[in-house]
Amino acid sequence: MSTPEPASLDRLRALFRESFDLAPESEVDSLAYRAVPAWDSVGHMRLIAALETEFDVMLETDDVIDLSSFAKAVEILGKYGIGGE
Amino acid sequence: MFGCDGSGIALLEPADGTRLSHADLRDSVAAETARLRRLAGSQPALVLIALAPAIAPVVAHLAALSPGFAAMPVAPELDGPALAALIARYQPELVIRPTLPADLGYDAVAPGTWRREAPATRPLHPDLGLVLSTSGSTGSPRCARLSRTAVAANARQIVEALGIESDQRAPTSLPLSYSYGLSVLHSHLAAGAAVILTGEGLTSRGFWQVLAEGEATSFAGVPTSYEMLRRLDIDRLAPPSLITLTQAGGAMKPALTDHFLGFALRRGGKMFVMYGQTEATARIAVLPAGALPDRLGAAGRAVPGGRLSTIDGLGQPLPPGAEGRILYQGPNVMMGYGEGRDDLARGDELSGRLETGDLGRLDPDGMLWITGREKRIAKVNGQRLNLDEIEARAAAFGRAAALDRGDTVAILLAGGETPGAEARAGFAQGLGLHSSQLRWHSIADLPLTERGKVDYAALAARLAELSR
């Protein structure tokens, strides 16, 4: 398992902001499911689609329903080898 | 309220392990009704309830459906200026909500219970039982005024049409402030069946854990729910007990219906496609499970005790097979619309006759096929959106036209630039949508018809080119 490198993390932050209609510089590292109104079911699937397009992966069902925070997203993407060396 | 004398479990709240039997629920509702009566005094009282999927607010809602009250369920998220405006318009005597801003003219009379200081301007009509917003999450002032008999009748109609038995258990997969979500609660209680109370969304692991713990047997969804479920893989997530699916809240792509019909059949269960409106409490038609896949795309037959027909522009009945305006007649039709407190004093204005605003045709055996809409209405997430209202709001950015694109709404702006991301997000939020559900396009000009009206057919063609 690897941890995404800073460049991937920045892409990830941008995707979170885009998916949940957040301001460009807003803090997202502590964001969790339903912490903002836009992160509901529809927002969640929008985020998943954005992640899959950006990182060219297909997430397993279990990972889709477990991706409940920014930190979890980092962990799950690491599992798919995104951002490793 | 629903004449249920069942003895099994009525409500489960897996979050804290609470289970309430139908007998316990009857006692709780009787006690809550007495409490509300003491607080409200002797006059009929409107009770606005932030209807979260939890036992206490559900009991308050059921108590407020008793004679002497009318219930007005709203989304627990409804807050701020939208909540204040709704309260100012409808002047509920009581508000059931954890918190309430201090400047609305309400006193805290018990934890989470607020009483209006000034008397309301008009009394409630004695038949009024339920006041439901016709556009869900936006807190739109327009509501359907439903009588207690209509609410009870529709619950029975749904029980009969779906064959709900006392051993069934449905989760709150849709908001209880939305007519479809509320109808799941009412119909299951009327059948002596159980409802699993959860606020989890279907994209979270918590939702599926709750379904497994509560041994859910059925799932209610709108087309958006099924789009999401398709990606999520229902076979993998749904507990073995879950075998019945219902779908309403707008037309779903036949391929998607077929996909979930396959799931239901593999498990020896059923898939029901349904059609309805808040103006008819919730349900108007149900497609019998056995009619699939032959009648894929049909909206179903009228619920028991209801009657569907098609009429022409002058209100004259049309023969079977002819396309026309869809008329529904039945005991579940609303008394009329309301836009504020004064309207709640009015009696029944429709006599059980609802012009749905939808266009379609009926087969000789009563099967309804919907082909379009009379009014400029879009349905996104099962929520009805008035396209003219969206246009009026978008006029802030330029000359605007709004078009229904199935699961999204397209907004075309003539001669201007589309608004920035932040403005788009705020605009979408004001409609209870995600910004991705509104597609903004900039075009040179709005095509007009010979009569000077916006030519929506030409716009749709232009949009098809833009999106190619």
**CA-CA-CA-CA dihedral for B136, B139, B145, B150, to nearest 10:** 30
How far is residue B84 from each of residues B58, B75, B77, B442, measured CA to CA in Å? 22, 13, 13, 35
Chain A residues within 8 A of B227 when measuring between CB atoms: 45
Chain A residues within 8 A of B437 when measuring between CB atoms: 42
Mind listing the pLDDT tens digit for each residue in A38-55? 898 989 999 999 999 999
Nearest to A53 by CA among A2, A9, A11: A11
Task: Decide if B381 and A65 are in contact by the 8 Å CB cutoff.
Answer: no
In this predicted structure, what is the pLDDT of residue A85? 37
Give the gap in angstroms from C-alpha B70 to the nearest C-alpha of chain A.
29
Tokens coding B353 = 């006759």
Q: SS3 for B102?
A: helix
DSSP state of A68: -
Task: Decide if B421 and A68 are in contact by the 8 Å CB cutoff.
Answer: no
Tokens coding B404 = 């229904």
pTM of the model: 0.89
For testing the chain B interface, which of A16, A36, A41 should be mutated: the one with the most B CBs within 10 Å? Answer: A41
Give A 14-53 residues with CB within 8 A of chain B.
Answer: 21, 23, 33-34, 37-38, 40-46, 48
Task: Decide if B228 and A21 are in contact by the 8 Å CB cutoff.
Answer: no
Nearest to B330 by CA among B376, B294, B279: B279
What's the angle, vertex CA B163, arms to CA B137 and CA B171, rounded to 5?
40
Checking if the pLDDT of A6 tops 80, the result is no
Tokens coding B6 = 């069942």
Give the pLDDT means over successive 10-residue stretches in chain B (468 positions): 78 91 96 98 96 97 98 94 94 98 95 96 96 73 95 98 97 96 98 96 95 97 94 95 96 94 97 97 96 95 98 92 96 97 98 96 96 84 82 87 88 85 86 87 83 81 78
Do B354 and B147 form a contact (C-beta atoms < 8 A)?
no
Measured in residues, chain B has a length of 468
Tokens coding A12 = 């990830």
Chain B residues within 8 A of A66 when measuring between CB atoms: 205
Nearest to B249 by CA among B76, B410, B377, B82: B377
The label of the residue with tokens 């509104």 reads B438
> Of the CATH numbers 3.10.20.600, 3.40.50.300, 3.40.50.1370, 3.30.300.30, which one belongs to the domain with range B377-466?
3.30.300.30
**Cα–Cα dist B21/A29, whole Å:** 44
Residue of B nearest to A49 (CA): B231
Q: SS3 for B361?
A: strand
How many CB contacts within 8 angstroms connect chain A with chain B? Answer: 56
Tokens coding B173 = 């997969």
Nearest to B288 by CA among B186, B134, B160: B160
What's the angle, vertex CA B27, arms to CA B25 and CA B32, rounded to 5?
90
Maximum CA extent, chain B: 66
What single letter denotes the amino acid at residue A69? S
Tell which CATH architecture fits domain B9-371: 3-Layer(aba) Sandwich (3.40)
Peptide bond into B126 cis (omega under 30): no
- Which sign does the torsion angle of CA A68, A71, A72, A74 carry? positive
Average pLDDT, chain A: 88
Do B323 and B363 form a contact (C-beta atoms < 8 A)?
no
Beta bridge partners of B245: B219, B271
In this predicted structure, what is the pLDDT of residue B136? 54
* Domain span(s) for CATH 3.30.300.30 in chain B: 377-466
* Domain span(s) for CATH 3.40.50.12780 in chain B: 9-371
Tokens coding B179 = 């007519």
Pairing between β-strand B377-380 and β-strand B368-373 as defined by DSSP bridges: unpaired
How far is residue B254 from each of residues B96, B119, B226, B321, measured CA to CA in Å? 41, 52, 12, 21
DSSP state of B333: -
Q: Classify residue A3 by burial, with Cβ atoms within 10 Å: 0-12, 13-18, 19+.
A: middle
Q: Mean pLDDT, to the nearest integer, of A6-14?
A: 87
In this predicted structure, what is the pLDDT of residue B331? 98
Do B183 and B161 form a contact (C-beta atoms < 8 A)?
no
Task: Decide if B434 and A43 are in contact by the 8 Å CB cutoff.
Answer: yes
Checking if the pLDDT of A84 tops 70, the result is no
Radius of gyration of chain B (CA): 22
Nearest to B225 by CA among B430, B405, B406, B380: B380
- Quote ipTM for the complex: 0.88
What single letter denotes the amino acid at residue B382? G
Phi/psi of residue B46, nearest 5 degrees: -85, 130
The label of the residue with tokens 């803090």 reads A27
Checking if the pLDDT of A61 tops 90, the result is yes
In this predicted structure, what is the pLDDT of residue B375? 79
Nearest to B58 by CA among B101, B5, B99, B13: B13
In this predicted structure, what is the pLDDT of residue B468? 64
**Cα–Cα dist B42/B40, whole Å:** 7
Domains, chain A, in order of start with CATH, read 6-79 (1.10.1200.10)
**Cα–Cα dist A77/A67, whole Å:** 10
Task: Decide if B435 and A65 are in contact by the 8 Å CB cutoff.
Answer: no
Tokens coding B375 = 């009014």
